[in-house]
Chain A
Amino acid sequence: MVSQILFIAITLAAIALFSYNVKKVIRNIRFGRAVDRSDQPQKRLMTMLKVAFGQTKMFFRPIPAFLHLIVYAGFVIINLEVLEIMIDGIFGTHRVFGGLGIFYDVLIGSFEFLALGVWLACAIFLIRRNIIKLKRFSGVEMKSWPRSDANYILISEILLMTAFLFLNAADSKLQAMGASHYIIAGAFPVSQFLHNLLPNTEAGLIVIERTCWWFHIVGIFAFLNYLPYSKHFHIIFAFPNTYFSNLEPKGEFTNMQSVTNEVKAMLDPSFTPPEAAPGRFGAKDVNDLTWVNLMNAYTCTECGRCTSVCPANITGKLLSPRKIMMDTRDRMEEVGRSLDKGGKGLDDGKSLIDDYISREEIWACTSCNACTQACPINIDPLAIITDLRRYAVMEESQSPASINAMLGNIENNGAPWKYSPADRFNWAKED
């Protein structure tokens, strides 16, 4: 009974803490401007099923895709088992689904194989990051926290899977001994090999079984509450993020409606623009970006697939699209923390541009869309870069001198070069 009450208390606390943190994240995402992404629900659903659920974009790199798929399947399927743990925990039952007979055997048996798979995949991931040191996981933005974040998660997953297997091993041994409460249920194709490592006394086995059981479920709750601080938030956000992703051709940039009204008024004096919402042109800070840009930032897994294909980054320039996403998230969190403490929030004298992202970075982008193509969860760093440029050019008139000259030429001559419009058709002249 005591353990049931304790279990319920821990569960409620975990859920409360998680909702509290998620609410903060949603508050931060709401710093962003409105943008309508409610069109084409069917196409959106399909995109989500393909990209997030089916992980189709992962397969451009088959090895990590395969390993990731195991961890992902493990995450989704072993969560079914968590359902049983929850019921057992609340009602004090044991293996409540055990009555399902052969079906239960298959279920537990396959969980065990998956657990082993997840264990191995995480171990390989750790080796890739820390021993082989894949280039993709380095870079100026991969400072101490992003590195340890990844390692913490991988190690926790290994611990969780270990606990799960030992839990089963102790359980099956107890079942074989005919211990009361430990009903005969489940098949244990993997954990049976751990029997020799376990004590042979009933009391000893029960201690191990209970410890692993508690460790496993408390570990899962801890993991859940770690997510909002981590790049591992993607296991939740990947779904809405792909659902709301940009469905237009990648080459298409948004036409700014506020500008359209002004331009119309300039070209046609009889046009009266509708009441313009106050706001700036382009983005200086996170509140000038859209909520989709901001959700993107929370979804980024820092995998660096974008950066590894970015032509600017490949040739040694400062720009890294992954850094753009991480900076955006960091800035949002900074503003959020300040507001939580009753501080100045956005008015702290800092801004996303300059304090986080430098001019040199944004001007190095060729708008090639390699980053958006490579991102396994449809994140769009280019949209942020474009909006920062828009701010630099339209609000501050601060662009590189040659860009200014180019803009001047278009304005005066209708071409980016200094040629006379009268000469535009000379290519066809026979002379």
Chain B
Amino acid sequence: MSAQLNFEVPTMAEMIAKGEEPEILFWVGCAGSYDERAQKTTRDICKILHHVGLKYAVLGTEESCTGDPAKRAGNEFLFQMQAMTNIEVLNGYNIKKIVTGCPHCFNTIKNEYPGLGGNYDVIHHTQLIQQLIDEGKLKAEGGESFKGKKITYHDPCYLGRGNDVYEAPRKALEALDAQLVEMKRCKTNGLCCGAGGAQMFKEPEKGNKDINIERIEEALETQPQVIAASCPFCMTMLSDGVKMKDQDQNVKVLDIAEITARANGL
């Protein structure tokens, strides 16, 4: 397990009590909050925010599911209940800018909340990382070197095709001087990890193989040392796939935030 945090993560409630306002709210998401693997990414995002001195806060226990899985499963009632409750909390704190640790939260808050009264400037954590690299605040120095390592990046559907974010995660990888190898199906032609549309929470329908296996076979064809992800659901599916293929000793599945944190020695 990646090292624990040696700093306090500020919550909105605390900030308001101190009469302060954060520059950006970090929306952690359900997977980022509860899933052990995704928690590591969550902590790494905090380390990055802390390291660059950005004034941020999280909602902590006041956060609730965005409603994305309910919406994709067809339960619009439950989705809108969740959305409106969340919007009330966010608007109550006068939130302007949000960074999310998950493409599903990102898509939902960015695209579906405005119609329900929630208007925020929303970015995904890979976009924040790209901005910080562009501003020279993150340098990929002083930590683990990824120089020359073969890395392949899996586009999450809700970041890529869903919202046309293809460059930011790749930019973060290029900054490492790594060797970025693309899979045959990438960018607009990317292949789903198999978890979207509420599939994460059910057994797949019967077929010849599971989608994550199809995807991991393609990823392994590029003979990578690292498979880069930027979504907690993809993380689960890809890690499971690597394990099923008995490759977990040779290939690491890491989130862009984890890679960036490691490269910066955080």
Distance in Å: Cβ of B111 to nearest Cβ of chain A: 4
Q: Is B91 an interface residue (CB 8 A)?
A: no
Q: Is B208 an interface residue (CB 8 A)?
A: yes
Indicate if the CB atoms of A252 and B107 lie closer than 8 Å: yes
Q: Is B56 an interface residue (CB 8 A)?
A: no
Indicate if the CB atoms of B9 and A428 lie closer than 8 Å: yes
Could you say which of A123-131, A147-155, A361-369 contacts chain B?
A361-369
Indicate if the CB atoms of A311 and B58 lie closer than 8 Å: no
The residue of chain A having its C-beta at the shortest distance from the C-beta of B159 within the complex is A251
* Total B residues in contact with A, Cβ cutoff 8 Å: 75
Q: Is B85 an interface residue (CB 8 A)?
A: yes
Indicate if the CB atoms of A316 and B209 lie closer than 8 Å: yes
Distance in Å: Cβ of B211 to nearest Cβ of chain A: 5
**19 additional A-B residue pairs with CB within 8 Å, beyond A259-B77, A370-B189, A427-B43:** A251-B157, A251-B161, A253-B72, A259-B80, A311-B191, A316-B206, A317-B205, A367-B72, A374-B189, A399-B73, A400-B202, A403-B201, A406-B70, A406-B202, A410-B70, A415-B33, A416-B200, A424-B34, A428-B5
Pick from A267, A406, A423: contact of B81, CB below 8 A. Answer: A267
**Scoring B residues 173 to 213 as 1 if CB is less than 8 Å from chain A, else 0, what string do you get?**
00000000000000011111011111111111111111101
Residues of B within 8 A of A317 (CB): 204-207
CB-defined A-B contacts under 8 Å, sample of 21: A248-B111, A251-B157, A251-B158, A256-B80, A263-B77, A315-B208, A317-B205, A363-B202, A369-B162, A370-B190, A386-B74, A389-B74, A394-B75, A399-B73, A400-B202, A403-B202, A414-B65, A415-B33, A417-B30, A427-B32, A428-B43
At the interface, is chain B mostly helix, strand, loop or mixed? helix
Distance in Å: Cβ of A153 to nearest Cβ of chain B: 28
Q: Is A373 an interface residue (CB 8 A)?
A: yes
Indicate if the CB atoms of A430 and B195 lie closer than 8 Å: no
Residues of B within 8 A of A414 (CB): 30, 63-65, 82
Q: Is B67 an interface residue (CB 8 A)?
A: yes
Indicate if the CB atoms of A410 and B67 lie closer than 8 Å: yes
Residues of A within 8 A of B244 (CB): none
The residue of chain B having its C-beta at the shortest distance from the C-beta of A252 within the complex is B111
Taking A319-B205, A394-B74, A425-B60 as contacts, is the C-beta distance between A266 and B81 under 8 angstroms? yes
Interchain CA distance A312-B210 in the complex, whole Å: 9
Pick from A251, A262, A267, A360: contact of B205, CB below 8 A. Answer: A360
**Scoring A residues 226 to 260 as 1 if CB is less than 8 Å from chain B, else 0, what string do you get?**
00000000000000000000001111110110011
Residues of A within 8 A of B32 (CB): 427
Q: Is A264 an interface residue (CB 8 A)?
A: yes
The residue of chain B having its C-beta at the shortest distance from the C-beta of A423 within the complex is B34
Distance in Å: Cβ of A245 to nearest Cβ of chain B: 15
